[in-house]
A and B are shown apart, each in its own frame.
Chain A
């Protein structure tokens, strides 16, 4: 009897100690755009670990991670900000902080989460810990109008940087004093900045312009020089092709000194030398690029396309600055994400209800993971990258 009891104790005890501890460094989130849900996935095992629900309108969503890689912060279209625990597979908290939002960022020290909003236009700051509001930065311009805010990124020195779509301005907010962000505004930076990126070391902020050709570049080491309009003549008004989806600059596409950016209204990827900000080459591609992303080893750049070419992917070989491959992974290619060292790339196929994983060196398919209308893939390695 005693022996049996002891055995039972031992069983129970070992079950507890044997419960696998989980690391979060190789996890990711796949957003499901129509069901307000997200999958937590293990990128080593190509496995779904959990589905987190009740995330609101995730038809457009993006994610940043806490520096300990335990929590994911998800910014949803409906103004929802959700904090997800990757260790315990649960939604910790969700708030709705605006009517319509587009993206977010996490501060250098990991304590502040910032959200960029369309309505009411502006940026709001929250405690990363509790999601309690810290400060509000209304994007006011002209005669007290509010501008949609896009291209929000973290900048070194505990700052956030973002662009005002309607106002044509770039704002730099220093949030060292949490309650009282101090603002520096750069005006007349160009018409309708539609998205922005910060280079991997955090020095340059590039805002792509929609309302006129070119981009606006701000050197954060020399803010006194103001923003510089580059490539103002790369396209003529009469050669512009219709753009059926706005490109994204989120996720840097830097390879060595070269920045790879989508052209707007031209089926090209622009290669720009970041030392001079001059055009090195315009690489013809098969459609309007949406995401242009460099593999971490900088040898390849992968891109997807706007409607009606959104069933394809192209790969640029950086050595030749030319397209080396075209893939047709499936229908509704919405997003792609590299593993931290680039051996895998995950591609979201909205209309096929799955994510396909490629070996990016041999272009071999490694796995297909079911997901409901996936539209965004975010790996926890982003936690340690400036601007992501």
Chain B
């Protein structure tokens, strides 16, 4: 008989997660088109006066690493929230089209309003993400049976395709915009600056707070709206708040790094497979797994693309797409 509902393997999973996170951080600092030696790594991290080339490379990679950890954590938690809100195991910002909505607004901002500061990017991306989320959810809930997983994914894919073509249509005639935008659009953490990291922090904290505070009620909602209402959850309010958290986290990541797909999906899935469905544990661990997945993908992109680099958005799409297909097939079979 268990005395508390903490999953038995949670301590072990937490420790493994943190160790992996540490390994990722070291890898992200040391690996890339220029490999750094151990003493250079130490110099770069701890000896500010050291001015070897290696040490300065390491210092440049610190902000990039922090940024990719934040983005990964935000995407992981955003995925968990969206999966709970839509009660859909394959929900992810990129699959629901929320990323693309954020992209469209940012492109419009670049093309028509000549935006350039991080806060302008964030504002527009959040607006685009929120509007798209509402739109896709609205379309997905039309007809019989409400917002079923299948209809949501279909609505998300269709919306995403339509918005992508709009993005292209706006970009193509404007070659000056192209350059600014092309890099952003693939999804990359390479250009991260400390000011981008600083702009990220308040949104990350707000989104995480929402996620942690709604987790117990989301657990209740996982048993169906009727059970949740019977347990005293205001399901309408909860959906709205949790969706807001998800959109906030994904929107701000998209604003600063560009659209990065599948991280939320993968991060949450791996954790749910290992820990079970209790969101009070799934959400914090998804932050860790998301950070690990994104940082590993970034390091892989640097190694594969060397001497240049492959943007992290490309890497996650390559890993994520086949896994999505697998999961979709599995969930379809379950529902049959």
Instruction: Answer yes or no: do A and B interact.
Output: no
